[in-house]
Amino acid sequence: MSSKPEHQSLPARDAQAVVHGLTNLSVHAERGASVIESGHGVWVRDIEGREYIEAMSGLWCIALGYGNERLADVAHRQMKQLAYYHLTNHKSHPPVIALAEKLLSIAPAPMSRIWFASTGSEANDCAARLSWYFWNAMGQPQKRQFIAHKLWPTMATRSPRPACRVSAMRTIDSTCPCPAFIM
């Protein structure tokens, strides 16, 4: 590098420091990143001042829009008190209990409990484990087949492709050419 990173443009710094998922990296190397600096409602603005409608809701994480003052205030208060805490090893916290109760009260079908997950992979893994638990409890432990679309730990260990099978203790190589498969 000829100059310090802080003296380069944001797109140049991005090109030197960031790998972008769901992106054709060859095309990206030529055109670079559109650097988004702010958002309000459904609109986002790049560092050049151009505005765009963000139709993907920040990759499905901003369902209520950008710049929502009420959410920002609530999040700020919660971050000061307890930013995050897991629900493993018999742990819980007041906000998750209140949210679970609220979701149960408005669920369209009767439910007894709520499972919270941080990622889709975590949710899929839990769905498989709960299903296996259920069928074991019903005396049918052989019922273990799933149709899987993506590579995630529980599914990858059951792949018919030896190159895709991994132990739960190993890191999964996300470049493994595993098509959809039945477990």
Residue 48, classed as helix, strand or coil, is coil
Q: CA–CA separation, 128 vs 17, rounded Å?
A: 37
Give 66's DSSP letter: B
Give yes or no: residues 104 and 138 share one domain. Answer: no
Contact 153, 120 (CB under 8 A): no
pLDDT tens digit at each of 183 positions of the chain:
455 667 899 999 999 999 887 788 888 889 999 999 999 999 999 999 999 999 887 777 788 899 999 999 999 999 999 999 988 888 999 999 999 999 999 999 888 899 888 777 777 778 888 888 899 999 998 887 766 555 445 555 555 545 444 433 343 344 444 444 343
pLDDT at 103: 95
Residue 170 counted as domain residue:
yes
Residue 131 counted as domain residue:
yes
Give 41's DSSP letter: B
Give yes or no: residues 107 and 136 share one domain. Answer: no
Last residue of one domain, picked from the residues 95, 116, 137: 116
Give the bridge partners for 46, in sequence order.
36
Residue 43 counted as domain residue:
no
CB atoms within 10 A of CB 164: 19
Residue 33 token pair: 């990143």
Give yes or no: residues 131 and 104 share one domain. Answer: no
Taking CA atoms, 172 is separated from 119, 153, 181, in Å, by 16, 7, 16
Residue 31 counted as domain residue:
no
Give yes or no: residues 128 and 165 share one domain. Answer: yes
Residue 75 counted as domain residue:
no
Last residue of one domain, picked from the residues 61, 96, 116: 116
Q: Letter for the amino acid at 127? A: A
Give yes or no: residues 136 and 171 share one domain. Answer: yes
pLDDT at 126: 82
Give yes or no: residues 124 and 164 share one domain. Answer: yes
Give yes or no: residues 151 and 110 share one domain. Answer: no
Residue 111 counted as domain residue:
yes
Give yes or no: residues 149 and 98 share one domain. Answer: no
pLDDT at 157: 54
Residue 169 counted as domain residue:
yes
Tell me the residue range of the domain where 106 lies: 84-116
Taking CA atoms, 51 is separated from 4, 29, 179, in Å, by 29, 23, 38
Number of domains in the chain: 2
Q: CA–CA separation, 35 vs 8, rounded Å?
A: 14
Give yes or no: residues 127 and 106 share one domain. Answer: no
Give yes or no: residues 94 and 111 share one domain. Answer: yes
Report the phi/psi class of residue 148: left, alpha or beta, with left for phi > 0 and alpha for psi in -120 to 50. beta
Contact 168, 157 (CB under 8 A): yes
Residue 163 counted as domain residue:
yes
